[in-house]
Structure 1
Amino acid sequence: MSVLTKVLGDSNAREVKRHLERVAEITELEPLIEKLAPEELKAKTAEFRERLANGERLDDVLVEAFAVVREAARRTIGLRPFDVQHVGGIVLHNGTIAEMKTGEGKTLVAVLPLYLNALEGKGAHLITVNDYLARRDAGWNAPVYHALGMSVAVIGHEMSLVYDPDYLDETHPDPRLQQLRPVTRAEAYQADITYGTNSEFGFDYLRDNMAVDLSQCV
């Protein structure tokens, strides 16, 4: 270890420490957020969007938005994001790489920055490696987004799906995925949050750039 590292500390450690300070702010909000009725919790999304429209940045609403997601996850899927998962969410939001060990909850980590970035109304995309993971992660976490008034969809090779709590596919063996309703590819892209694979997103981008009419784009 160099003298400089001993004096200033490891850069990653300093970064994590800085993020943990924000996580402490998120945790401080927990008692207040817990008291919100379901409709009040959902209304937070409209409140955040209004604040962004009035000039605030995503970083300005990050702490409260993450606190809202934590509560929505606890109520809907029975999982409360841990501090380390919030750190991972902040890192992803900042556009940097978060390396996490198996079992540390990467699937839930992604929900935090996805919700935050979807607040801008431009659509937030999660890219994974295969259709199975895209469908699984979207379906498992869809109740969290739905509780906050956001739509979620999946772009797949064979079909596209959107979460619909009024729909029931009894043929699917996983009850957590039975409320994914088939839709067109274009409809899936209209969702607030869209899960898919690198190949599906990539080829859609290429096809859109080759289209001669906007009606041919997704």
Structure 2
Amino acid sequence: MFKQLNPILPVKEILKEINGLADEMAGLSNLELKNKTQEFQERLTQGESLDDLLPEAFAVVREADKRVLGMFPYDVQVMGGIVMHQGHIAEMNTGEGKTLTATMPVYLNALSGQGAILVTTNEYLAIRDAEEMGQVYEFLGLTIGVPCVEGSNEMDPSEKRAIYQSDIVYTTNASLGFDYLIDNLASN
């Protein structure tokens, strides 16, 4: 069953709101930008929803992407992130910036404290993307884990559990599936 987000603002209206915050976010110091993460988490505990925070959180990540990676997500990438957060599929061709696009909805959903998992097709992409985009998340005060690295099969369950307790996890569908099975088939 898919969750229907009510009310869903048209994507272009949300984009306009995010773009309207660009100058404000550019004017923040690095520390002020990082402190937005804690502010958002507090606002969530006070009853605001992820949808309420979306425009401001996306604007924060967009600015962090620019400062940390030297890449400022284009409007189409921001719209792709909005669509992803809303639970829909955003189709993008090779080279259109899927990895950068994902930073916005992944960050937003990690704010809930329930963790956000980005699943990709192979270990190379999971590790590469976690290393590159992880810089943004760490800049903003979040933790990142990658359970599908070489030697991860030899990790004991407590090490794997620690990785999955990260705010954001980059993994593969195979690693995620096997980790779930191993954890749930454990004898104790």
How far apart in 1 are the matches of 2:64 and 2:149?
30
How far apart in 2 are the matches of 1:158 and 1:105?
26
Q: Does 1:190 align with 2:165?
A: yes
- Structure 1 position 39, deviation (Å): 0.9
Q: 1:44 to 1:157 in 2, by over 3 A?
A: closer
Larger Rg: 1
Aligned counterpart for 1:86 among listed residues 75, 78, 92: 78
* 1:89-113 deviation digits (Å, cap 9, x = unpaired): 0111111111012221000111111
Contact 2:127–2:149 under 8 Å retained in 1: no
How far apart in 2 are the matches of 1:44 and 1:116?
11
* TM-score, with length taken from structure 2: 0.89
How far apart in 1 are the matches of 2:72 and 2:125?
21
Q: Percent of pairs identical after alignment?
A: 54
1:101 aligns with 93
How far apart in 1 are the matches of 2:57 and 2:65?
12
Aligned counterpart for 1:201 among listed residues 145, 168, 176: 176
Q: Does 1:117 align with 2:109?
A: yes
* 1:114-168 deviation digits (Å, cap 9, x = unpaired): 00000011111000111000000011111111111011121115335xxxxxxxx
Q: Does 1:135 align with 2:127?
A: yes
How far apart in 2 are the matches of 1:197 and 1:159?
15
Unaligned segments of structure 2, at least 5 residues: 1-8, 153-157
Contact 1:129–1:198 under 8 Å retained in 2: yes
RMSD between superposed Cα atoms in Å: 1.6
Secondary structure at 1:125 match in 2: strand
- Structure 1 position 186, deviation (Å): 2.4
How far apart in 2 are the matches of 1:148 and 1:136?
19
2:49 aligns with 57
Aligned counterpart for 2:37 among listed residues 40, 45, 49: 45
How far apart in 2 are the matches of 1:114 and 1:159?
26
Secondary structure at 2:10 match in 1: helix
Q: Does 1:31 align with 2:6?
A: no
What stretches of structure 1 move > 6 A for 4+ residues in a row? none
2:5 aligns with none
- Structure 1 position 51, deviation (Å): 0.7
* TM-score, with length taken from structure 1: 0.77
How far apart in 2 are the matches of 1:96 and 1:200?
24
